[in-house]
Structure 1
Amino acid sequence: MANSPQSKKRARQNEKRFAVNKARRSRIRTYLRKVEEAIASGDKDAAVAALRSAQPEIMRGVTKGVYHKNTASRKISRLNARVKALS
């Protein structure tokens, strides 16, 4: 349990940050799921459109500290390869 005023403040800040990061991670996962569903359905146009909308959201997660840059690049690269393979 936090005792000092500073540790109490840090605990409050951590709760807020956790909520923001959780929402951001959830939004990114939603975009990823849309790409996955488009790939699974075999619709290349929908998959390309979904990937285009997902890329900036994933990279925004990097700048906000939710994901590591290499993790995001790897996810985008693998999705891109799967979309290209649809043709």
Structure 2
Amino acid sequence: MSETRYFRVRGRVQGVGFRAATSDAARKLSLDGWVRNRADGDVELMARGAPEDLDALRVWLHDGPGMARVGEVSEQNADDTDLPSPFTVT
């Protein structure tokens, strides 16, 4: 059974390769969805897949790529919308 979750990542997460690294991590977990920068400096993403793979992505998001400094990751369940496959950067 798959789930869809919305994540928002705060901290130093723009200009450090966060979106590309998130896309790579999500693809390795066989997740569908997207990641993008927000105008306020945060990064947001929507991902769909197995609950254990979404949990693994959440763990990864708390660290991110080497240059990132993650301050907070928020998460909420989302409606199962038509998400891109494979996972993409928008």
Same fold (TM over 0.5): no
Structure of larger gyration radius: 1
> TM-score normalised to the size of structure 1?
0.36
> TM-score normalised to the size of structure 2?
0.35
Structure of greater relative contact order (alpha carbons < 8 Å, 6+ residues apart): 2
Structure richer in helix, relative to its length? 1
